[in-house]
Homo-oligomer: A and B are copies of this chain.
Amino acid sequence: MRSVEETIIEQIRKAAEGVASSEVRLGIGDDTAVLRAPREGREILLTTDQVIENTHFVRHKHPARALGHKTLARGLSDVAAMGGEPLCFLLSLCLPEWARGSWLRQYIYGMFQVAKREKAPCAGGDIARGECFCAALTVVGTVARGKALRRDGARPGDLLFVSGRLGGSELGLSGLLSEASGRSAAVRRHLFPEPRLALGRLLSGLRASAAIDLSDGLSMDLARLARSSRVGAEIDAAAVPLFPGASLEQALHGGEEYELLFAVRPAARVPASAGGVRLSCIGRVRKELGVVLRTAHGVENLEPRGYQHFSGDRNGSRGE
Contact = CB atoms under 8 A, between A and B. Distances in A.
Interface stretch (A235-243, A248-256, A304-312): A304-312
A15 interface: no
Contact of A94 (B42, B45, B50, B81): B50
A3 to B, nearest CB: 5
Interface residues on A, range: 35 or more
A140 interface: yes
> What is the count of identical protomers in the complex?
2
A123 B228 CA distance: 17
Contacts of A150: 26, 30
Interface string A160-201: 000000000000000000000000000000000000000000
Contacts of A30: 82, 150-152, 228
Given A37-B38, A46-B35, A130 B132 contact: yes
Contact of A26 (B38, B56, B125, B148): B148
Max chain B Cβ within 10 angstroms of own Cβ: one of A35, A143, A145, A311 = A35
Given A90-B138, A94-B52, A123 B46 contact: yes
Interface string A68-99: 00000000001101101000101110100000
B31 A35 contact: no
A32 B5 contact: no
A301 to B, nearest CB: 15
B4 A128 contact: no
A218 interface: no
Closest 10 A/B residue pairs (Cβ): A136-B136, A4-B310, A32-B47, A92-B136, A35-B44, A31-B81, A31-B78, A32-B45, A52-B130, A134-B134
Interface of A: 1-6, 25-26, 29-38, 42-50, 52-56, 78-79, 81-82, 84, 88, 90-92, 94, 123-132, 134, 136, 138-141, 143, 145, 148, 150-152, 211-213, 228, 308-312, 318-320
16 contacts: A3-B311, A25-B43, A30-B150, A30-B152, A31-B79, A31-B211, A32-B81, A33-B46, A34-B43, A34-B143, A44-B140, A47-B124, A50-B92, A50-B126, A128-B309, A134-B136
